[in-house]
Structure 1
């Protein structure tokens, strides 16, 4: 009985260790890893902005990227389609106000068809 519980705890700890930690971004949002990219999530009202950068924090042009932010709003998931805007920014509008630090994830598809996702706690 103890072995299955110990295996579960070890598995959860290992999974937690794999996820990247969030840091503060230059646009006032939170930054996390999404594959080979860093993504900064900035939410203001219903607007969601996601800024892309590479491993060295250099901006990556958003042209050709598609994305979806799946964020928790009022205890329910809200899917926000993201489209390229200017520079390294993807943007979208939610149906309701998101608050300043919504939890959820950002899923990206690059111009080459490769996908990546980043989680925000």
Structure 2
């Protein structure tokens, strides 16, 4: 038996239309707001926040607003500036933080963060520094 939308009534139709137009996908991965004052990118379900400072670069990783244990990941970052690439290993620094102490992120450069999760899957994010 076919479904007859008109039998639902105008109120039900309005509610169904409103729900169909609600942008739920925007909230599916948690907040995209930086938690540490850095730059944020998504790769699949993983949110990566890059915080560059005078003492080095820190990366914070989470999934749906839940911190991921940094100690379970291996990671590197690659900076490209004026055609030259510089790499550094990111080491777990407690909680969901990975750090490259002493690595200076130059303004206006591209930084690629490569993470390997516990299953061996690779996660890549690209940032443009300001």
TM-score past 0.5 threshold: yes
- Which one has the largest radius of gyration? 2
Residue segments in structure 2 that go unaligned for 5+ positions in a row: 1-31
Task: Give CA-to-partner distance per residue, 1:28-70, whole Å, 9 cap, x none.
Answer: 100101232000001112511100010x222111122010111
Residue 106 of structure 1, CA deviation: 0.4
Residue 77 of structure 1, CA deviation: 1.6
Kindly report the root-mean-square deviation, in angstroms, between the aligned alpha carbons of the 2 structures.
2.1
Question: Which residue is equivalent to 1:80?
Answer: 88
Structure 1 residue ranges, 4+ long, deviating more than 3 angstroms after superposition: 99-102
State TM-score, norm by structure 2. Answer: 0.65
Question: Which residue is equivalent to 2:120?
Answer: 113
- Residues 23-62 of structure 1 correspond to what in structure 2 (within 5 A)? 24-54=33-63, 56-62=64-70
Larger RCO (CA within 8 A; separation ≥ 6): 1
State TM-score, norm by structure 1. Answer: 0.69
How many residue pairs get aligned? The number is: 97
CA separation of 1:73/1:47 partners in 2, compared to 1, >3 Å: closer, same or farther? farther
Matches of 2:54 and 2:90, distance apart in 1: 15
